[in-house]
Structure 1
Amino acid sequence: MGTGFSSLALLEINGSSSTNGYPSPMSKPTGLGDLPENCVSSILNHMDPPEICKLAMLSRAFHNASSADFIWESKLPPNYKFLVEKILHFTPPNSYMPKKDIYTKLCQPNHFDGGTKEVWLEKSSGKMCLSISSKALRITGIDDRRYWNHIPTEESRFKTVAYLQQIWWVEVLGELDFEFPPGNYSVFFRLQLGKSSRRFGRRVCNLDQVHGWDIKPARFQLSTSNGQKSSSECYLNEPGNWVQYHVGDFVVDSPHNMAMKIKFSMVQIDCTHTKGGLCLDSVLICPK
């Protein structure tokens, strides 16, 4: 009895209505395209965005189901409404944008605050990253061309970096008011000793003005509006390469407390010697 039932069930799944062991001439085999769209949506809801996009090419049912709002809303970070209004300048509920389109747009590099900051989502995870240009930082002496200059470069996502020729007192301060999705975050200064350029199609780095960074370490500090603090010291000693120097970490532990003000700094204020030859690109905030 069990065997007969299994055989009959198999024939029905394969689209057969015959009971003699052979498919009916009027039947046709079923496939993924015959799954109900709501069933497909439930399956896709448990997958990562890249997997959803791949499966959307399997059939019309998968393609239609892959655009369901409830799927993509589950992939968006909890602060996505804040990002939609601040970054995409889109104000629901007065107008409508599909959640899939919101996810796609937020995965692109999105500039704000006059192009001095940039935010994006990691495509595979939906986690948020943020970068702050040197032009959005308070740099001691930045208005005096004897010390600092903003120079163009293709090695920065902001197309320009702050270059230090020589100074006694190095102080870089920054702050940011933003909504961060719950999670652990790390803050980095992206720096390079030396001025890079291209010569005959090859990257070269001029180290002539690099000096003073091996005598005393640079000090990095981080604090948040809810009382988190961290600090570290590090010698800048990798000339010719862009390096992300770790400032510290902070935690956002609740979707109800995502708004946070963070302050960060880099200083080397030992006035017994000058420092120079430093490129300051940006500050990076990313999931730890």
Structure 2
Amino acid sequence: MELGESGIESLPELCVAHAISLTSPRDACRLSAVSAAFRGAATSDTVWDHFLPTDWQSLVSRAVYPVEFSSSSSKRDIFFRLCDPILIDDGKMSFSLDRSSGAKCYMLSARELFITWADTPQYWTWDCLPESRFAEVAELIDVCWLEIRGKIESRMLSQRTTYAAYLIFRISDVSHGLGYPPQEASVKVGGHSSTKTVCLQPSDMLSHMHARRASALFGYCVRCRRLMITAEAEEAAEEAEEVDGAPQARNDDWMELELGEFYIDEGDDGEVNISLLEMKGGDWKKGLIIEGIEIRPKNNR
């Protein structure tokens, strides 16, 4: 059906803009390419002002480096500028908008996290990496007790949005003990919490399992060896099945590991508490480099 004077082109642009503002930034961009009738409305300030969070100016005022807009900047220009991470709060956190939904995203720097023994040089060191958006990253030297915790206020996030928290990290060339035992990740919001088993370095987990199976070959008779190998293989398979999260490569040369997801409803208050722990095995670990924990809308990357 072709659009004519009796179709969308006959409607006032303000009316069309209002309808588009009820969709999403992604939809508005798609609609702007449909026809000239949509283009004017889909790029209007009426639409993009609706996509901007009401506190965007307050967030920009917290920027480490001034974020300036000219008098000719449209709300669409402002929106897409805010889609690029902006360092705020003395560089301990970054803020951005999700391009698809307009939801607020944050990354807590390693300095903003609680990391057990982080200020003890024999266990952790603080380094500057040019690939990081933050001034410092934390590198694990040697610990047998891995405890990383972060938190953010619910009111800082976008309402009626499903979020996920991700550890942003790298593994150094001299890593050890980051695959086995696997880690426990959890997210808690109010009275709701979720916990799952994750693995920072799956290749290390597999190496550990192979080593355990090989050790079963020593010190036993042939029959005992056979029984031991079978038991080890079954135990290894069970542990691998329990792992519910593995790292994924990002386009910024870092890795990310999902720690859990949560929903922010209208009127939610209080804290979102996020953690990654491995404190039961007693195995020594090294080579984990932490940039921070990112909180962004689920499945939006």
Bucket of the pairwise TM-score, normalised by the shorter protein: 0.5 to 0.7
Cα distance in 1 between the residues matched to 2:203 and 2:180: 15
Q: Compute the TM-score of the two structures, normalised by the length of structure 2.
A: 0.64
Shift of 1:232: 1.4
Instruction: Please tell me whether the aligned partners of residues 147 and 165 of structure 1 are also in contact (alpha carbons under 8 angstroms).
Output: yes
Q: Distance in 2 between matches of 1:62 and 1:191?
A: 41
Q: For residue 87 of structure 1, report the CA deviation from its aligned partner.
A: 3.4
1:38 CA displacement? 4.4
Greater gyration radius: 1
Deviation of the 1:49 alpha carbon: 4.1
| Cα distance in 2, alignment partners of residues 40 and 273 from structure 1 | 61
After the TM superposition, which residues 1-288 of structure 1 pair with which residues of structure 2 at under 5 Å, given as runs?
Answer: 38=14, 41=17, 45=21, 48-51=27-30, 68-76=44-52, 80-88=53-61, 99-158=75-134, 160-177=136-153, 178-181=155-158, 182-194=160-172, 206=173, 208=174, 210-224=175-189, 226-238=190-202, 242-254=254-266, 257-270=267-280, 272-288=282-298
- Matched AA of 2:196: S
Q: Which amino acid aligns with 2:282?
A: T
How many pairs align? 231
Letter in 1 for 2:188: S
User: Over the residues paired in the alignment, what is the CA RMSD in angstroms?
Assistant: 3.5
Report deviation, 1:276: 0.9
Say if 1:179 and 1:267 are closer, same or farther in 2 by CA, change over 3 A. same
Q: Which letter maps to 2:113?
A: L
- % identical equivalent positions: 25
Amino acid in the other structure paired with 1:253: D
**Which residue matches 1:19?**
none
CA 233–67 in structure 1, closer or farther in 2 if over 3 Å, else same: closer
User: Does the CA-based 8 Å contact 2:181-2:281 persist in structure 1?
Assistant: no
**Aligned residue type for 2:198:** C
Q: What residue ranges of structure 1 are gaps of 5+ in the alignment?
A: 1-9, 14-31, 91-95, 195-205
Cα 1:54/1:153, change in 2 over 3 Å = farther
Shift of 1:259: 4.1
The Cα of 1:248 is off from its aligned counterpart by 1.4
Is the partner of 1:74 in helix, strand or coil?
helix
Deviation at 1:41, TM superposition (A): 4.3
Separation in 2, partners of 1:131, 1:191: 12
Q: Match of 2:59, as an amino acid?
A: K
Q: Secondary structure at the match of 2:57?
A: helix
- Relative to structure 1, the CA distance from residue 98 to residue 220 in structure 2 (aligned partners, 3 Å threshold; closer, same or farther) is same
Contact 1:220 1:233 in 2 (8 A): yes
Q: RCO greater where, 1 or 2, for CA within 8 Å and sep 6 or more?
A: 2
